[in-house]
Amino acid sequence: MRALVWHGPRSLAVEDVERPVPGHGEVLVRVEAVGICGSELEGYRGHSAVRRAPLVMGHEFAGEIVEAGLLSATATEPAADLVGRRVVVNPLLACGRCPRCLEGRPNVCRDRRIVGIHRSGAFAEYVAVPASGVTFVPDGMDASLASLAEPLAVCVHAIRLASPECRAPGGLLVLGAGPIGLLTLQAALAMGAKCVLVSDRLASRLAFVRTLGGEPCAPEDAESVCRAWFGEDGPEAVVDCVGVAQTRETAVRLASAGGRVALVGLGQEESPMPMNLAVRKELALLGSYTYSEADFAEAVGLLASGTIRADGWTGACELAEAAAAFEALDRGVSPYGKIIVKPNGGFN
């Protein structure tokens, strides 16, 4: 089969590799759509501490089960009823035994592993994954839309941290209008937020914010716009989808006293923050990493309901074009915020 193999900084190639065979408890998925994640761009650049070359990346994906292994130690036949089912895949693999897993927080499992990082991922025609990680989707559901389940779950999780039950009366401030920011905007509105302000430095991204129901603003205008929308106190909930010095400082400065800030973006390993201000305002600064199983299920439900839109800000390409798509995103010249790769064709 063909796969996109990462060999090191800015080195990607489509190669013939051995088609995986599903082992015990696994299924083989024919990949219909797999999104290029911002974290994979960091890996492409050689800035990821957890990715080791050579590697087939890809953890945001949807497809069809074409083969199933033995699903239990006592089984003598594979689960034939799984074959032909269309699925999205939760790529987070947790141990299920540690204290964090037992309290429903597999995202901070001490032994967590992720498809596309610790084992071969979905920038390939086929990928083998644990059957426990698949969620069925309707047969008629668009594969590109379904592939957004994983990043959307990241957003659902961050919103829950920043605004439990999404009841912050002052609304929500989102920093960054990239794919995670735009999905956070849509998820927050679907979950009950009355007002979502989104800040970004790129006018092209801000145009999508208004189309999707949010209020856009440039970083230099964020303070005055926040004051106009949320009053002198500022927003009670902030989600930083960028994770650089400027956005982290902005989150602390603009959040209301007693507010909550969910830190999602991983743009910089280290950055200065006005911590004395955070202390005086008694802010809750919350690291937000991936999601729970409930967050993932809610994301799939939002996608299946038609609540989330991908038109305009996402594009698609074939596997042979994927290396060029990475390069365009890396250089900032892609017309799309998110590019979804179709390893087996099948554009819809």
Bridge partners of 115?
A: 119
Number of domains in the chain: 2
Do the domain assignments include residue 189? yes
Would the pLDDT of 317 be above 60? yes
Do the domain assignments include residue 314? yes
List, in order, residues 6 or more apart from 257 with CB less than 8 Å away: 233, 281, 282, 283
DSSP state of 121: -
Same domain, 37 and 140: yes
Report how far apart, in Å, the C-alpha atoms of 232 and of each of 153, 247, 252, 256, 260 are.
32, 20, 15, 9, 16
Do the domain assignments include residue 263? yes
Q: Is 134 helix (H, G, I), strand (E, B) or coil?
A: strand
Q: Which of 224, 227, 237 is nearest to 286 (CA)?
A: 237
The range of the structural domain enclosing residue 57 comes to 2-148+310-342
Same domain, 110 and 37: yes
Quick: pLDDT tens for 9-56: 999 999 999 999 999 999 999 999 999 999 999 999 998 888 999 999
Would the pLDDT of 4 be above 70? yes
Would the pLDDT of 304 be above 90? yes
pLDDT at 69: 86
Q: Confidence class of residue 348 from pLDDT cuts 50, 70 and 90?
A: very low
Same domain, 156 and 236: yes
Same domain, 217 and 264: yes
Do the domain assignments include residue 294? no
Q: Confidence class of residue 80 from pLDDT cuts 50, 70 and 90?
A: low
Give the Cα separation of 239 and 173 in Å (integer): 6
List, in order, residues 6 or more apart from 341 with CB less than 8 Å away: 4, 33, 34, 35, 36, 58, 123, 316, 317, 318, 319, 321, 322, 325
Same domain, 42 and 90: yes
Same domain, 164 and 68: no
Do the domain assignments include residue 172? yes
Q: What is the DSSP string of 234-251?
A: --SEEEESS-SHHHHHHH
List the single range of 76-85, 153-162, 251-260 with lowest mean pLDDT. Answer: 76-85
pLDDT at 346: 61
Would the pLDDT of 241 be above 80? yes
Do the domain assignments include residue 45? yes
